[in-house]
Amino acid sequence: MKIKCLKSDLLNSVNIVLKAVPAKSTMPILECLIIDASSNGIKLIANDMEIGIETFVKGDMIEEGTIALNAKVFSEIVRRLPENEVSITADDNFITEIICEKAKFSIVGRSGEEFPVLPEIEKENPLILSQFALKEIIRQTVFSISDNENNKIMSGELFEIKKDTLRVASLDGHRISIRKIRLSKEYEDSKVIIPGKTLSEVSKILSGEASSFANIYFTEKHALFEFDETVVVSRLIEGEYFRIDQMLSSDYETKVTINKKELLSCIERASLLIRETDKKPIIISIGDNNLQLSINTALGSMKEEIDIELEGKDIVIGFNPKYVMDALRVIDDETVDIYLINSKTPCFLRDKDQSYIYLILPVNIQVNAD
């Protein structure tokens, strides 16, 4: 095998496939990436058996062939090469020579035939989204997946298609995040659970351009994302997702309309007094068209008031500040509507069209009269 390409193009492709290389594996071959040079072009491939990534590299294929190289070693070499053309040659003994200007490396590779191939996915009826929409919908929901490995379902996101609407939902036992977008056409109804790790990695690779599109294909066991010169294949999480509709409510006793940036800044200031090990809630007191936020920790205390539009009853309620900040940071509206029933039931942040819904469970607090 022999190929030539620019260092910048090679490094860009290496960085993409590295997202599917495990740090350590019981199968050493999985710690490799594959360089596959054929008449179709030059491809880099990595696969940790949960997520596989394949991407094309711009360059010249001089001699066909395939080689498996330790991904960490190869990526560090490429990263430190001069900004110029790189020549990579592998012989029949898998000795691989990497030359760029006066730098010359010789490393030992392995046969690419040992490497597990990416699953074959039938490419029919893709869900087509702009890269901007896909990147946004992941950003706006992925933060509330659970990292608890004991509950696989919570470590993924529900992608649910009904006619011309895509709904994406995630939850971790303390909150639910839901985003809905209108699609450009109607599709067959379907539901899949995609691992949060996959979506995070896809989001990092997406350009986010509104004029560029991603095709997403679903089978019973896999999801395939195809965009630009890259393909990402992921196992789906098997099982039935939680019945989130039963957890949602349109009832409320109190509705607060508040400037989103003011509320977020206020909670961020309050969080300065919280140590990482603390689980101190912020206390929100609502009444007289005024929201008072207070916190009291071992480091000190803070109170701040924000003007609001209030509909309904006064209320005092406590929240984990991180959960409220996470939701506010991904809401793009200038003002946000918060719906509450009492101090022990979830609050909802949602817009009129319910294109987003964020449910946050409150924290039990002792309410002291000031």
What is the CA 358 to chain-centroid distance, rounded?
Answer: 17
Look up tokens 């394949």; give the residue. Answer: 54
Query: Which residues, 6 or more positions from 65, have their beta carbon under 8 angstroms from its beta carbon?
Result: 1, 2, 37, 90
Q: Is residue 222 part of a domain?
A: yes
Mark whether 235 and 270 lie in a shared domain: no
Mark whether 24 and 85 lie in a shared domain: yes
Instruction: Tell me, letter by letter, the H, E, C secondary structure of 121-174.
Output: CCCCCCEEEEHHHHHHHHHCCHHHCCCCCCCHHHHEEEEEEEEEEEEEEEECCC
CA gap 234, 50 in Å, rounded: 6
Q: Where is average pLDDT lowest: 148-157, 240-249, 266-275?
A: 148-157
pLDDT interval class at 367 (50, 70, 90): low
Mark whether 66 and 46 lie in a shared domain: yes
Which of 82, 114, 146 is where one domain is finished?
Answer: 114
Give me the torsion for CA of 318, 319, 320, 322, rounded to 10°: -140
Mark whether 97 and 196 lie in a shared domain: no
CA gap 46, 230 in Å, rounded: 12
pTM value? 0.93
Mark whether 10 and 82 lie in a shared domain: yes
Mark whether 9 and 110 lie in a shared domain: yes
Question: Residue 350's closest CA among 142, 166, 176, 172?
Answer: 176
Q: Is residue 365 part of a domain?
A: no
Number of domains the chain contains = 3
Q: Is residue 366 part of a domain?
A: no
Mark whether 18 and 54 lie in a shared domain: yes
The amino acid at 155: S
Q: Which pLDDT score is estimated for 253? A: 97
The average pLDDT across 38-49 equals 95
Examine the pLDDT at 368 and tell me if it is beyond 70.
Answer: no
Look up tokens 């989130």; give the residue. Answer: 244
Question: Residue 344's closest CA among 209, 225, 244, 253?
Answer: 253
- Beta partners for 315? 286
Examine the pLDDT at 275 and tell me if it is beyond 90.
Answer: no
Which of 67, 86, 114 is where one domain is finished?
Answer: 114
The model's pLDDT over 64-109, given as tens digits with 9 standing for 90+, comes to 999 999 999 999 999 999 999 999 999 999 999 999 999 999 999 9
Examine the pLDDT at 241 and tell me if it is beyond 80.
Answer: yes
Mark whether 229 and 254 lie in a shared domain: no
Which of 91, 114, 137 is where one domain is finished?
Answer: 114
Mark whether 15 and 87 lie in a shared domain: yes
Taking each helix axis from N to C end, the angle separating 260-271 and 321-330, rounded to the nearest 10 degrees, works out to: 140
The model's pLDDT over 153-207, given as tens digits with 9 standing for 90+, comes to 999 999 999 999 999 999 999 999 999 999 999 999 999 999 999 999 999 999 9
Q: Is residue 172 part of a domain?
A: yes
Mark whether 256 and 224 lie in a shared domain: no
Examine the pLDDT at 369 and tell me if it is beyond 50.
Answer: no
Cα-only R_g, the chain: 25
Q: Is residue 122 part of a domain?
A: no
Mark whether 278 and 321 lie in a shared domain: yes
- Beta partners for 283? 294, 318
Q: Is residue 369 part of a domain?
A: no
Mark whether 254 and 232 lie in a shared domain: no
Q: Is residue 261 part of a domain?
A: yes
Examine the pLDDT at 259 and tell me if it is beyond 90.
Answer: yes
Question: Residue 310's closest CA among 369, 249, 257, 259?
Answer: 257
The average pLDDT across 285-302 equals 95
Give the CATH number, domain containing residue 56: 3.10.150.10
Domain region containing 290: 248-360
Dihedral of alpha carbons 272, 273, 274, 280, sign: negative
Q: Is residue 179 part of a domain?
A: yes
Query: Which residues, 6 or more positions from 72, have their beta carbon under 8 angstroms from its beta carbon?
Result: 21, 31
